[in-house]
Structure 1
Amino acid sequence: MQHRGWIIYNGNLYSKKFSEQVEWLKTTALAFDIELTPMKNNELVVLIEGGKAIIKPPIELPDFVFFWDKDLFLARQLEELGLRLFNQASAIEICDDKALTYQQLAGHGIRMPKTIIAPKIFIDLTDTSHLSHVIESLGFPMVIKEAFGSFGEQVYLIHNEQELYDKVTELGNKPFLFQEFIQTSYGKDLRLNVVGDEVKAAMLRKSDHDFRANVTAGGKMYTYQPSEQEKDLAITCTKLVGADFAGVDLLIGENGEPILCEINSNAHFKNIYDCTGIDLTQAMLKYIKETIS
């Protein structure tokens, strides 16, 4: 029996990097007897009418959706219509918001950097009294991360009190968090790609000139064989956020122990293929096929 699915991608963020991976997914799907149709998120209008959730224009719904975007309103609407999303809206929401990620993982014994979520600001920062607690708890250098950001952007290394005040003033009412800087992981981290209950690929990322190891920020990729401890941590975190598949980024602690950095629900798969030769689309489509059959 052939299954039909949609790949939802962002219609206003569609570069060659995205289009190549969408076509890649389509091609892999055929090997699993799945017909995947690319759909821009702005092709599907979220409508509430007569007290019901509706998608416009009227269209035959697929068997499932590979939701490769962060349009949560659309994701929830599709789920309301009974569709199974990979990943589901709740997982995308948790992973997209770094503060929410850390709160979701708290209380489960997950090793994470010490983190302070910045108090909500509605217009401008006028009261900085909380910063004394931040400095006392984290010291310098510390990291500031905007709650929403990708590819290592919106992450800042803060060296002193003046830089701290300048950055929080600049950020204004954007949601962000303060975080302990893991010195032993300066310019290096691990990316483990989880599908279901397994780590399917992993790489070490290193930068010679930046505290961030992201490839987009100039980091280089190296094949890596993760330890059982690293794999267990990545799989546990993926399950705790409710993701079917994820790119889990780990920092490296003082004694080599893994420390959760963040979880990406919409992780790209081209870089890790270029690094390891492992085609994650095979594992993801196999997982989808087994789940919906």
Structure 2
Amino acid sequence: MNKPVTSTDLSDASPSGPRIALFVEDGSGDWHARRLRRAMEARGASVVTTTLSACAFDTSRPSGMDIPGFDGMLPDGAFVRSVSTGTLEQITFRLGILHALRESGVRVWNDARAIERCVDKSTATFLFQKAGLATPPTRVVETRVRAHAHLSADPRPFVLKPLFGSQGNGVRRAHTPDELPPPEAVGDVYYMQHYLRAPDATLFEDWRVFVCSGRVLSAMVRRGKTWITNVHQGAEPVAHAPCDEMSRMALVAAAAIGADYAGVDLIRDQSGQLMVLEINSNPAWKGLQSVTSADIADVLASDFLAAVSKAVV
């Protein structure tokens, strides 16, 4: 039987260091995963790079699971770079694997609970409000009829975001309720936020604050050519030293979600009030790395392995 693609097969590896599962989009991993793996291996960890889709629940295994490269046993830790896209059933299964790992005593970064809260923008926004953080006025409803009724009562421009999405994909701005997309384009769930910038604004920027282990690791300004400021969409990353308020809000946001590490997006409204816009439990940091002196992968690896060590003990 063919084995899945891995960077290391732990059945032949030395057991001296922690045994780590690094879950990625595909079998080889992206730029971020490769840097993480190197940083972990430099600290003595044995790392299997694999995917959640390659895992299995298996009652014939001692652990009840089959994680590629672990011969039916469990890793000491699991670092999640990607859950990957899929059907509702596939995503539920993959998150179930992460839940099971956590319930089995494996230290998971970020665990399924944090990922679920971040991926679902409506839950994340609710938790921000519960934590006392300012957010853009937001309403999330099912059906286009209810969304249309809400927007008809409020003439301000709004931003519509897919409930599940990242990197600015599928985000759109509209001025009238008639510009709402059809139900099938958004899964018949409408996440609506007030558009915060002035109608004549020409400067489009917000802030990404990278949080790890309860501290701010680094931050940047994201300066967009358009109102969408994701680096993936062409925005320019600019080095930035966050003020105390930015740092506090980012740390509270990550704590509200329960994230071990996260990218927290902040924005100012027309009056200058700082607000939490979004949070990402699997943040990319290639753009941030280009404008910071911190070795982000190295710090992530160090903090993660320290958490694994505490869990194992």
Same fold (TM over 0.5): yes
- Give the counterpart of 1:173 among 169, 187, 205: 187
Is 1:78 the equivalent of 2:101? yes
Is 1:246 the equivalent of 2:262? yes
Contact 1:2 1:34 (C-alpha < 8 Å) held by counterparts: yes
State the Cα distance separating 1:39 from its structure 2 match. 1.3
Percent identity (aligned): 24
Q: Which residue number corresponds to residue 5 of structure 1?
A: 20
Contact 2:209 2:263 (C-alpha < 8 Å) held by counterparts: yes
Provide the alpha-carbon RMSD of the alignment: 2.4
Q: Which residue number corresponds to residue 143 of structure 1?
A: 159
Amino acid at match of 2:187: N
Q: Show the 5 A alignment for 1:279-290.
A: 279-290=295-306
* Whole-angstrom CA distance in 2 between matches of 1:20 and 1:129: 42
State the Cα distance separating 1:168 from its structure 2 match. 4.2
Q: Which residue number corresponds to residue 7 of structure 2?
A: none
* Whole-angstrom CA distance in 1 between matches of 2:219 and 2:51: 30
- 3-state SS, counterpart of residue 307 of structure 2: helix
Change (3 A) 1:178 1:199: same
Q: Which residue number corresponds to residue 272 of structure 2?
A: 256
State the Cα distance separating 1:53 from its structure 2 match. 4.8
State the Cα distance separating 1:172 from its structure 2 match. 5.6
Change (3 A) 1:61 1:222: same
Contact 2:128 2:134 (C-alpha < 8 Å) held by counterparts: no
* Whole-angstrom CA distance in 2 between matches of 1:174 and 1:48: 38
Amino acid at match of 2:132: G
Measured against aligned partners, the alpha-carbon deviations of 1:151-205 in whole angstroms (never above 9, x if no partner) come to 11121101223213xx144536343311111115863110000001111110101
Q: Which residue number corresponds to residue 113 of structure 1?
A: 136
- 3-state SS, counterpart of residue 108 of structure 2: strand
* Whole-angstrom CA distance in 1 between matches of 2:106 and 2:178: 50
State the Cα distance separating 1:76 from its structure 2 match. 1.6
Q: Which residue number corresponds to residue 270 of structure 1?
A: 286
Aligned residues: 278
- Give the counterpart of 2:72 among 52, 55, 59: 59
Q: Which residue number corresponds to residue 43 of structure 1?
A: 54
- Give the counterpart of 2:120 among 78, 84, 97: 97
- Give the counterpart of 1:231 among 247, 255, 263: 247
Change (3 A) 1:44 1:233: same
State the Cα distance separating 1:56 from its structure 2 match. 6.2
State the Cα distance separating 1:239 from its structure 2 match. 0.5
Measured against aligned partners, the alpha-carbon deviations of 1:251-286 in whole angstroms (never above 9, x if no partner) come to 123343321110000001222111223221122122
Contact 1:189 1:251 (C-alpha < 8 Å) held by counterparts: yes
Q: Which has the higher strand share?
A: 1
- 3-state SS, counterpart of residue 118 of structure 1: strand
State the Cα distance separating 1:66 from its structure 2 match. 0.5
Contact 1:10 1:42 (C-alpha < 8 Å) held by counterparts: no
Contact 2:163 2:186 (C-alpha < 8 Å) held by counterparts: no
Unaligned stretches of 5+ in structure 1?
none
Change (3 A) 1:277 1:154: same
Unaligned stretches of 5+ in structure 2?
1-15, 84-93
Q: Which residue number corresponds to residue 206 of structure 2?
A: 189
Amino acid at match of 1:45: A
Contact 1:152 1:217 (C-alpha < 8 Å) held by counterparts: yes
Amino acid at match of 2:39: T
Q: Which residue number corresponds to residue 132 of structure 1?
A: 149
State the Cα distance separating 1:106 from its structure 2 match. 2.3
State the Cα distance separating 1:230 from its structure 2 match. 0.2
- Give the counterpart of 2:33 among 8, 14, 22: 22
* Whole-angstrom CA distance in 2 between matches of 1:282 and 1:60: 27
Q: Which residue number corresponds to residue 89 of structure 2?
A: none
- 3-state SS, counterpart of residue 291 of structure 2: helix
* Whole-angstrom CA distance in 2 between matches of 1:20 and 1:132: 44
- 3-state SS, counterpart of residue 23 of structure 1: helix
